[in-house]
Amino acid sequence: MSQTEEKAPKQADERGLAGQVIGDTAVCAVNQTQLMYRGYEIADLAANATFEEVAYLLLVGNKPTSDELASFKSELASMRAIPNSVKDAIIHIAKNTPEAHPMAVLRTSVSLLSHLCPVCEDNDAESDLRKSMYLLAQIPTCIGVHQMALDGKTPVEPDPNLDHAANLLWCMSGEVPHESAAKVVDVSLVLYAEHDYNASTFTCRVIASTNGDLHSSVCGGIGALKGNLHGGANEAAMKMLKEIMESVEGGSTADDFMQHAFETKKKLMGFGHRVYKNGDHRAGILRDWGLKYVNEANPDAMKWFNLGDEVQAIMLRDKNIFPNVDFPCGMTYFSLGIPVPQYTPIFVASRITGWCAHIMEQHQNNRLIRPLARYTGEKLRSWNG
């Protein structure tokens, strides 16, 4: 290359719409240093708001007054029961296809619920809000019925006296949860509730933009969230940590495992983020609450957090990559005794609020989402030539 020649500038990788703004929203703002729900920063919400308050904020659009919150919680509690036909279908799947992924079962459950919703096909604001509240209330029940049936137990009825997070744990186990357990799950639901145009939310908005109904849009969101590069990452992160623990208990070290993973280019789940290049601030919040729970109620689980801290330190030292929220979520849910395959359905029990807020926003100011593609195939040719 001559001295006057210059290399062409490296093109940014635009695959996956990386770095491209594709729409407007008043629901959420995400950048490298901040995550806000309707103007409220996530650390503020995690420290000072309950999940029901955050749900109201996202779905209705403003911080609830004490009377509005009481009415909202009472109405949600009255909506928690699911029709017997849906319950029977979930139990049938659990008994006859126990290997079915819980996200697939939940996707089917939401689809079944749509057939029994009298305003399913109505996309006006009032109907959408009503459907959003029903799904917010009923999804924990669906998760609980499935898990209890998998465990060979008779599903319990939702408890109207418990808050959303506590009721979710009750439905999954038939046991009233420790106060600290309910609190840490509540915080996790706050942290997972919304994240602008992520893959599943974008999927919901694309479906809604066709004038598709809210239930169809949510089913699409569940399908997108099921993948281990999105919602399934918390399951994959815990599975990876269990592999590391087995290696350590077998006489190796976490550093040995990590170095081998680096050399073989094994994907390490729960690290890195498309937006948060300098660390996902939700991760630290959830880690701290998880540690608080372990110290108060399950000290035997401290080994997972100690190992997690070691793995994080190695990733930061050798790769300068920070954990995302899925990494401490895996450890925290595992310490609570939640079955790993149910981690992502619990994510849905939270993100349903963000999805529905975006679906309503799309319906109320709609334009069909129809991007263009860059063609890279063969040039024009003749079939007979």
- Domains in the chain with CATH codes: 28-227+345-364 (1.10.580.10), 233-335 (1.10.230.10)
- Model confidence over 132-173: pLDDT tens digits? 999 999 999 999 999 999 999 999 999 999 999 999 999 999
Which residue out of 273, 281, 358, 363 is catalytically annotated? Answer: 273
Q: What is the mean pLDDT of residues 289-303?
A: 94
- Average pLDDT along the chain: 92
pLDDT value at residue 142 = 98
- Model confidence over 162-207: pLDDT tens digits? 999 999 999 999 999 999 999 999 999 999 999 999 999 999 999 9
Whether 273 is a known active-site residue: answer yes
pLDDT value at residue 366 = 96
Residue 6 has pLDDT above 70, yes or no: no
Whether 178 is a known active-site residue: answer no
- Model confidence over 339-384: pLDDT tens digits? 999 999 999 999 999 999 999 999 999 999 998 888 999 999 999 9
Angle at the Cα of 142 (from 137 to 144), degrees rounded to 5? 105
Q: How far apart are CA 332 and CA 113, in angstroms?
A: 31
Give the residue from 322, 317, 306 showing the smallest Cα distance to 273: 322
Whether 230 is a known active-site residue: answer yes
Which residue out of 164, 326, 358, 363 is catalytically annotated? Answer: 326
- Model confidence over 247-293: pLDDT tens digits? 999 999 999 999 999 999 988 888 876 666 667 889 899 999 999 99
* Burial category of 153 from C-beta neighbours within 10 Å (exposed 0-12, middle 13-18, buried 19 and up): exposed
Q: Rounded to the nearest 5°, which phi and psi values hold at 153?
A: -110, 160
Give the residue from 188, 213, 373, 208 showing the smallest Cα distance to 293: 188
Give the residue from 88, 102, 218 showing the smallest Cα distance to 155: 88
Q: How far apart are CA 197 and CA 86, in angstroms?
A: 31
pLDDT value at residue 4 = 37
Which residue out of 122, 151, 178, 230 is catalytically annotated? Answer: 230
Q: Report residue 368 as tokens.
A: 């069909």
